[in-house]
């Protein structure tokens, strides 16, 4: 696509379902977040991404620019309200009002809860749950002014099921389930759709519970495909919760 002019690129984007919409994907530099960002750009959205590693953010942004030149990236800790505020204001200044938010940032830390430290608890709950609250809170006022928007929270089947060693992780994801459902009720009258996606094991660098057969787990693109379906759902309805499993059991 190197030889396509900006004018032609703009015309090309205008025929896509998310043309003229702006999306923010947290944890968008790798894994599931990167795949989601690429899918949204492919559908025509201008995309902002954040993460904690400058090098991977820059590389992901270069990939996005091959699909849509309207890209913004910023290193940010989404567990800190001050950094979230700067992220959202900078993204909107560069790209325009955010219409799609994907809360994807997350970490896994496994083992018996009684063996974990308070620091472990704070790290997992802040990254996986508090960040959803902080980033959503920062973006919602713009969506209310615009009369609508989509918020997609990436949870997990661990938000509905328990397993040995999953105390901290399951607590964070069960929290995401409850927060998402309440947000959906709070915001639906403003035209804002809140969805939660619950994948099973995904083939990423994410710190999981041990090695699994890559052919028997979900791929990041599987989750990205579902996000694409959520944000292109017909007006007047929304997909509130989606559970995802690989076809073949590992």
Answer whether 42's CB lies under 8 Å from 232's CB.
Answer: no
d(CA 110, CA 114): 11
Q: Where are the beta strands (DSSP E) in the chain?
A: 22-26, 46-51, 71-75, 100-103, 149-154, 192-199, 241-244
Among the options 72, 73, 110, 169, which is catalytic? 169
Which residue matches tokens 């809140």? 194
Contacts of 20 (CB under 8 A, 6+ apart): 14, 44
**What strand order describes the sheet that includes 241-244?**
71-75, 46-51, 22-26, 100-103, 149-154, 192-199, 241-244
119 is catalytic: no
Annotated catalytic residues are 169
């Amino acid at each position: 696509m190197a030889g396509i002019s900006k004018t032609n690129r703009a015309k090309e984007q205008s025929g896509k379902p998310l043309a003229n919409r702006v999306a923010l994907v947290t944890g968008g530099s790798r894994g599931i977040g990167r795949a989601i960002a690429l899918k949204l750009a492919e559908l025509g959205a201008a995309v902002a991404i954040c993460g904690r590693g400058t090098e991977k953010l820059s590389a992901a942004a270069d990939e996005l620019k091959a699909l849509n030149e309207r890209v913004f990236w910023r290193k940010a800790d989404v567990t800190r309200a001050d950094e979230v505020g700067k992220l959202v204001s900078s993204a909107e200044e560069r790209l325009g009002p955010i219409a799609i938010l994907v809360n994807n940032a997350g970490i896994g830390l496994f083992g018996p809860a009684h063996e974990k430290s308070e620091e472990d608890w704070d790290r997992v709950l802040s990254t996986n749950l508090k960040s959803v609250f902080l980033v959503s809170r920062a973006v919602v006022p713009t969506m209310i002014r615009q009369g609508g928007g989509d918020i997609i929270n990436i949870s997990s089947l661990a938000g509905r099921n328990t397993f040995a060693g999953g105390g901290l992780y399951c607590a964070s994801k069960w929290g995401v389930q409850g927060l998402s459902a309440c947000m959906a009720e709070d915001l639906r009258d403003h035209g804002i759709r809140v969805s939660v996606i619950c994948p099973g094991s995904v083939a990423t660098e994410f710190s999981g519970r041990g090695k699994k057969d890559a052919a028997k787990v979900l791929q990041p693109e599987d989750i990205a495909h579902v996000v694409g379906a959520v944000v292109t759902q017909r007006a007047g309805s929304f997909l509130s919760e989606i559970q995802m499993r690989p076809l073949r059991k590992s």
